[in-house]
Amino acid sequence: ARGASKTAITAQELFRIYPALAPVLVAILAEGVEESFALTSSVSYTLHPSLFPILLLLSRLQPVEDVAADAGAIAAAEPFLKHVLRCLSHPHHKVRLMAARATAALCSGDGNDITSRSELLTWCKERYSTSSDWNSKHGLLLCIKHLLKVSTSVEAFGLVRPLICYAASWVDDNFMSPPSCVAVALECWAHAHIQGIISLNIEKSLAASLSKAVQASAQFNQAGVNLIGASHLCCVSSEFLARLVYDDLFSFNDDVRMKALCTVKWLLQVCFDARWIAVKTIKKSLYESIEAITSN
């Protein structure tokens, strides 16, 4: 949802200017969802030509929660929501991703209505626990990620924390989730780390788990195993691990600093993806630190 410009039009304003547009878009979206999930003779899924463009349009609207206490904006978003949520289980990755972004744009924030963040997170959590389809689970995790991405609420993260822990359990050798799901779960943890929601003790245990994820992904790559999402998992884990140890690189404690340096050295050697992401992350962190110092 934060991909939208600050000058982007709101849903309420768009449908006020074009009053006939909303029911037409809802009808086309509903038709596109039904057609996309209908089984063909070859038992495969089809993609309605209008489905992705409508999801893209919704994701580019100014987020409803940015329109302070506006019941009109919430009312304009509600008719789309049930169809957008269904797209979270679509077999095409980009449709799931755009549906997650559109859901975040339609979210009304930290209120009590049906489109509030807590209601949507609770819905995602309940659907995840009952779903047996990994496409659906991946889409639900993407939705959780984008809903949390625009929030600093400890309560919001707490609603889905057990689910995120479960989805990320693959990094502890439990193999309970495919790499694509683990990567999204770790991105949720990364957001919590940036916002200061998780404690230092959890960060220390995460570092070991992230190292396992990078090592496993590198081993799959070296063995020529084409595991979907493994490369992305390696990149996400490497970036998160580099962020965790960055501050320790400048510690006055020799043991802490050497441990951080060893971790960075290992990231630079384990595989190309890890090396590229680690260098990129540390450079960015250095530039941010320098900018913070010079601006004071």
Mark whether 34 and 134 lie in a shared domain.
yes
- Across the range 133-141, mean pLDDT stands at 93
Nearest residue to 169 (alpha-carbon basis) of 126, 137, 147, 201: 137
Name the domain count of the chain: 2
Clarify whether residues 151 and 187 are in a common domain: no
Tell me the residue range of the domain where 81 lies.
8-38+45-169
Same domain, yes or no, for 177 and 290?
yes
Task: Give the chain's count of helices (H) and strands (E).
Answer: 13, 0
Lowest-pLDDT choice from 2-11, 48-57, 207-216: 2-11
Please say whether the beta carbons of 153 and 204 come within 8 A: no
3-state helix, strand, coil split of the chain in percent (to 5) is 75, 0, 25
**Within a domain: residue 212?**
yes
CB 81 within 8 A of CB 73: no
Dihedral sign for Cα 51, 57, 60, 64, please: negative
Contacts of residue 169, Cβ cutoff 8 Å, sequence gap at least 6: 176, 177
Q: Examine the fold and report which residue of 169, 193, 210 is the final residue of a domain before the chain moves on.
A: 169
pTM (two decimals): 0.86
Domain assignment present for residue 127? The answer is yes
214 shares its domain with 163: no
148 and 214 in a single domain? The answer is no
Let me know whether 283 and 266 are in one domain: yes
- Mean pLDDT score of the chain: 84
Query: Higher confidence at residue 6 or residue 119?
Result: 119
Answer with the one of 117, 143, 169 that is the final residue of a domain.
Answer: 169
In this structure, the answer to whether residues 165 and 18 fall within a common structural domain is yes
Question: What is the average pLDDT across 94-103?
Answer: 94
Percent of the chain with pLDDT over 90: 35
